[in-house]
Structures are given as C-alpha cells and as structure tokens.
Structure 1
Amino acid sequence: MQVKDLTTDELKALIRETVLEAIEELLPDPDAGLTIKPEVEQSLIEIRNRRKTVTVGISAEDVARQLGLEH
C-alpha cells in the first residue's frame, strides 16, 4: 500500500505512530530500570483509584452561582 492510497485517518495514525517511535528513540525513559519504594507505589495506586471515582471540576452553572452571576 502506498501513502496516496491511505485515508486521512489512516495517514494521521501513521504519522502519530511514526512521531511516537521517533520520540521514544530520541528520548528514552530516564526511569527505565529504576525501582520505587513499596509505599510510594501504593500511594500512586490509591491516587489512580480515587481519580477513577471522583468527578473533576465543577459546572459552569455552579461557578456562576458561586460568583453571583445568575440571571
């Protein structure tokens, strides 16, 4: 298959993949091979789990109400 035969979405995906590969080659993970303390790992897991269940932010209506901008 040639580039001229790709759809726009296929071309974008190909470009995205190519850019990610180039970044990974040029900027390797500085933390690769390092370990973290078990308590730090547990803390990160707890943060991730909390974020799965918490709604982030407030609605525009709530902001307007708090600022007294309701009509």
Structure 2
Amino acid sequence: MGNIVVKVPSSVDEKLAELIAKTITARLKSLEKANELLKNSELTEEDAIELGRKAKAGRGEYLERRYSSRG
C-alpha cells in the first residue's frame, strides 16, 4: 500500500490533526474491508445504479405516504 501525506497547517491544534489522521485511517480500513467483501461480486455498476434509484424511489414513496396526510 502506498503512502498518503496530509499537510495540516501549523495553526491547527495537534489533537485535531491526530483526529484527522485517525479518521482517514479508519475510513481507508473500512473501504479496504468493503472491497474485500465485494471482490467476487457479479453486480455491475449499472445494476448498482438501478438498485440505488429503486431504493431512493421507494424511500420517497414511503415518506410521501407518511407525511402527506399532515397538512
């Protein structure tokens, strides 16, 4: 794995800079795990987009039903 260098201005508190580094590291580990889980997936990008659209539409319909009666 390569290196990532994030330069934080000296005006930023050291604890905040450490938090930034830990957050980036945690996110990268999370993405690495997701890639490992999905490496054998046969789902195409187009399939994923379509599933996302269906989920979004379903959520919109749910929210409309739930809140449309409240005027």
**Coarse TM-score class (shorter-chain normalised):** 0.3 to 0.5
Tell me the TM-score normalised to structure 2 length. 0.36
Higher helix share: 2
Give the structure, 1 or 2, with the largest relative contact order (CA under 8 Å, sep 6 or more): 2
